[in-house]
Structure 1
Amino acid sequence: MSFFAAMNIGFDAKRAYHNNTGLGFFSRVLIRLLADQYPEHTYYLFNPKPGKSFHPEQTNIREVLPQTVLNRLFSSAWRSRWVTRDLVRMDINLYHGLSHEIPAGLPQTGVPSVVTIHDLFPEIYPEQYTPIDVKIYRAKLRYACRNATKIMAISEETKRHIIKIYGTAPEKIDVIYQSCAPAFMAAEPEEKKEAVRQKYRLPEAFFLHVGTIIERKNLLNICKALNQVRNEIPIPLVVVGNDGGFKDKVKAYLKEVQLEDRVYFLSEQLALAGKKPFVATEDLPALYQLATAMIYPSYFEGFGMPIIEAMAGGVPVITSNTSCLPEIAGTAAWLVDPDSPEEMAAGFRKIYTDVAFTADMRSNGLSNAQRFLPEVYAGDVMKLYQSIL
């Protein structure tokens, strides 16, 4: 519990309400944790338009929508600039930009602010984005890093990039590791896992990959690794994630090597069955825990949440030896060169065949996940808030 006076804490809640990938999950998890663990404060969620992705039950969470006709009509402008008037009017004590940006003019209001920087990918890999997106992201990132009272970086890797690219003073940046939703931290009962297996028609055993199907998530090399062990390991790969424009290339490879029946695109299978093409949030922990291993050999990440979601449930993890991924995985994962299907295949073999080794991986993963406990995460964020008030 906090010993500070009760605060009105504002959040940029666009992604909490409208984003079903990593930034949205990050926003929802943090808001819920703070509201639960620090109920003396009131949390105002500034949302540019009504959304369907977030339904918080806590009574100390208040959604704030644009009120005037002009603000509703130009909701993006309200979120990025005009919202500052509402922050002052509502006596907001602190504002948290949850993903890379704060409203223009916020410093002039006198409201202290925190901005979370997940990554600087548009600066580091501009070729992965359209030129206009790079220009917009760069302007927002630079403004936020220059004008926020404090920066919350989600990894040491991200902090190094902020210092190197923007010349930000290291003492302005706090590294605070995220936590997964608390549901991932508990072992699911066998009946729940079996119900999830039946609901999604999952195989008895499978390797799991979680992530949007884009080039940097590296699904193509995962499939090449699976091809190398196709005659040794008779279990398929289940892919959870929407197509980000890379699925056709992956499927062309699978067709070329006749491996199509060994890779299950879960969203696709659900759509073909006439169901909503995504896994229900409450089913994800059980889905992870059904997997033989989770493979996540991304080329670069800001954090790599699926690593913690898997380890927290006792699932072995294969991930990359690059970017921030070794920082998050610690010594508990099988680390691979993301350009090496051979190293991934070796991980598949070791986990599938060496029972004692796999048991150690499960135990070490559970221990590593303790670094990211929800109460530790929420406490660190609250300490950051209190440090600037």
Structure 2
Amino acid sequence: MKIGFDAKRAFHNSTGLGYYSRTLINLLSEYYPDNEYYLFNTKPSSKYDFPQSNVKEILPSGFPATLFRSAWRSKWVVKDVKKLGIDLYHGLSHEIPVGIDHTGAKSIVTIHDLIHERYPNQYNPIDVKIYTAKYKHACQHADRIIAISEQTKQDIIDYYGVAGSKIDVCYQSCSPLFAQTVPPAEKKSIAWKYHLPEKFFLSVGTINERKNMLNVCKAMFLLRNDLQVPLVVIGKGSGGYYKKVKDFILQNNLEKKIIFLSEMEEAKTDRTFLQTEDLPAIYQQATAMLYPSFFEGFGAPIMEALWSRLPVITSNVSCMPEVGGDAAWYVNPASAEEIAEGMRRIHNDPALVASMQEKGWAHAQSFAPDIYVHNVMNIYKSV
């Protein structure tokens, strides 16, 4: 089978959508090597590559495609899909090209979340209209829809009126590296590279209002006299909410207790800084993962933490209980006091930590790479 992908984010995106795309493409290539995988990419990238012999990168060629690359991705690429004889086209991040249903290829789209519908005030109004138009088009014209959680499936039904029978829930997986115990020498090397403290709580994710970093900082303030354990943050931010977070840290003398790895000098010069290969060693040295987001389509850092045997403090809303199962410590994300209490309990109770690690590892098996990739392939075969 010839399978095509909208691979823009696979080549160019270093956050969740790119990670999802690369993980799936690599797993398909490994578990189903007899297929041919065509990655439709708008422009060359030096960030990521796919050296497998059964994976081929397709770039726009000729005028006007090379000049109007976005138009090629959203519409003109259907000519290449037809020319190459693609059997199935998978839009990995909310979109499929206009006209894909007239190429002879079946189509699938992955919808990760409808956050722009739930929180439109956190987006530029023009962007909201664009996202809605693209997502609706994809949901209407794709042969099947993959939702990455039950929460996302229900949102597709509620906001776009799509029949539930057209939607398959398929929980994503993560790099197998998270499941491997990192040797002590490598942990030490990573700790030195990132100037990690001996003990630390960990937060992973973009710093925006929805992900709730301000309440995490407030929890750190509440614990300032009880726990001398800093917070290490992996994630970038900008705009008004990020300024609010930084102002709170400054006003409450938390600068030495909250460490932003993405703001270190090395992050500006070292291409390997915060690459996926380094993250398991960071996770496996942390005390707990803090992920009290108000809303997510999935919440990949929760899954990565479970694989890493790292206790998780997360929200009791949205899809977080789907991912955390019976292994996580759940809190009201609006309550800094509840977040702080979870941090205190995990820090002070080794028996609780051992129980969370055991339950987390067991629950993580439901997100195993082989289960995930076989589920996706079964959806491919169903269309």
TM-score bucket (shorter structure): over 0.9
The alpha carbon displacement at 1:278 in A equals 4.1
**Other-structure match for 1:228:** 222
Equivalent positions of 1:1-389 (< 5 A) are 7-245=1-239, 246-271=241-266, 275=270, 278-388=273-383
Quote the Cα distance in structure 2 between the aligned partners of 1:272 and 1:91: 42
1:217-250 superposed Cα distances (whole Å, 9 cap, x missing partner)? 1111001001111111111000001124333211
Query: Aligned partners of 2:378, 2:36: CA distance in 1, in Å?
Result: 16
Equivalent position amino acid for 2:27 in 1: L
8 Å CA contact 1:270–1:276 kept in 2: the answer is: no
| Paired residue secondary structure (2:253) | coil
Single out whichever of 78-87 and 63-72 deviates more from structure 2.
Answer: 63-72
1:272-328 deviations in Å (ceiling 9; x for gaps): 885459412210111111101010001110000000111101000000111111111
Number of aligned residues: 382
2: CA distance, partners of 1:127 / 1:299: 15
Structure 1 regions of 5+ residues with no counterpart? 1-6
* Distance across 2 between alignment mates of 1:313 and 1:382: 26
Q: Distance in 2 between matches of 1:169 and 1:367?
A: 33
374-383 vs 239-248, which deviates more?
239-248
Contact 1:297 1:319 in 2 (8 A): yes
The alpha-carbon deviation at position 331 of structure 1 amounts to 1.0
Relative to 1, partners in 2 of residues 1:365 and 1:9: Cα closer, same or farther, differing over 3 Å? same
Check whether the contact 2:172–2:372 (CA below 8 A) recurs between aligned residues: yes
Mark the CA change 1:273 to 1:124 in structure 2 (over 3 Å): closer, same or farther.
closer
Q: Partner residue of 1:4?
A: none
Give the RMSD, CA atoms, in angstroms: 1.2
Q: Which moved more, 1:136-145 or 1:124-133?
A: 124-133
Q: Per the alignment, do residues 244 and 371 of structure 1 end up closer, same or farther by CA in structure 2, a change over 3 Å counting?
A: farther
Whether contact under 8 Å (2:267, 2:273) holds in the other structure is: no
Unpaired runs of 5+ residues, structure 2, are none
Provide TM-score, normalisation by structure 1: 0.96
Contact 2:37–2:56, Cα closer than 8 Å, also in 1: yes
Partner amino acid, structure 2, of 1:371: S
**What SS is found at the alignment partner of 2:362?**
helix
Shift in Å, 1:67: 1.2
More displaced stretch, 317-326 vs 264-273: 264-273
